[in-house]
């Protein structure tokens, strides 16, 4: 295993020097790390079960459950929820006190509460994945186990219960396809084949982003000329440790990225 360093951060704000900005509150549980590829930005993040997120992505006022994976260059609006657990529909109650005492165990009368069964909840083990270059509007909920394709757009207020195909726009409750992102399918096809998000943003300086097909041509030219290269997904880790918030970096792996 590659050597690594562990730095105890005085506060979430201290993580800025390591490629991640936190505004507002940060809630990360012990044993459930937040893995990120710098740079990323968060504002008010509750992440009780872990998260893996790619470079140049940001989110605001988010609840992240189920340890999802979110790709690079994703723009996520306020009041975002992903991977929230289900509740039993056929029990006496849908309330989680029946089987998860940890939720209210802080209250003295609940400390000796006995639960006789554990519900079988659909989709608990399912992996939730958001691809690269995904734009998610405000007040969106993505259910556990859903896979959102690269380049997709999810309209504000949507509840996403099914997979979203690459380069489609969806919206509504439940979310349904509104239209393709590009009228010309050749554009989506070219972008998807190129996988431009495998390059870091400084490599793309000066690319004509407002003309997608010209952008594809220029990125291919730069790569062919050896001016830029694709970068592997090397992640840094933020975790809750005995002394506070810890940052874990694998220098040797980063050097090979």
**Cis ω before 152 (30° cut-off from 0):** no
What does the longest C-alpha to C-alpha distance in the chain come to?
69
Residues contacting residue 233 through CB under 8 Å, at least 6 positions apart: 37, 54
Distance CA(95)–CA(92), nearest Å, equals 9
CB distance 42 to 58 below 8 Å: yes
* CA contacts within 13 A on the Cβ side of 59: 30
**Cis ω before 39 (30° cut-off from 0):** yes
Residues contacting residue 22 through CB under 8 Å, at least 6 positions apart: 12, 13, 15, 42, 43, 45
**Catalytic residue positions?**
87
């Amino acid at each position: 295993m590659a050597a690594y360093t562990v730095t105890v951060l005085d506060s979430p704000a201290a993580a800025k020097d390591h490629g991640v900005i936190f505004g507002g509150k940060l809630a990360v549980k012990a044993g459930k790390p937040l893995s990120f590829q710098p740079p990323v930005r968060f504002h008010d993040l509750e992440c009780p079960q872990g998260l893996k997120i790619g470079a140049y992505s940001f989110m605001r006022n988010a609840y992240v459950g189920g340890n999802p994976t979110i790709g690079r260059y994703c723009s996520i609006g306020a009041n975002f929820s992903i991977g929230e657990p289900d509740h039993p529909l056929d029990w006496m109650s849908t309330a989680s006190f029946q089987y998860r005492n940890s939720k209210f165990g802080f209250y003295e009368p609940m400390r000796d509460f006995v639960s006789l069964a554990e519900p079988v909840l659909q989709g608990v083990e399912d992996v939730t994945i958001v691809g690269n270059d995904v734009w998610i509007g405000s007040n969106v909920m993505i259910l556990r186990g859903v896979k959102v394709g690269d380049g997709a757009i999810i309209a504000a207020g949507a509840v996403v219960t099914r997979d979203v195909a690459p380069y489609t726009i969806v919206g509504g409750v439940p979310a349904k396809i509104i239209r393709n992102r590009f009228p010309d399918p050749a554009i989506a096809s070219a972008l998807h084949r190129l996988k431009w998000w495998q390059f870091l943003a400084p490599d793309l300086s000066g690319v004509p982003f407002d003309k997608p097909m010209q952008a594809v041509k220029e990125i291919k030219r730069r790569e062919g000329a050896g001016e830029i290269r694709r970068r592997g997904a090397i992640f840094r880790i933020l975790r809750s440790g005995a002394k506070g918030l810890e940052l874990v970096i694998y220098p040797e792996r980063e050097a090979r990225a």
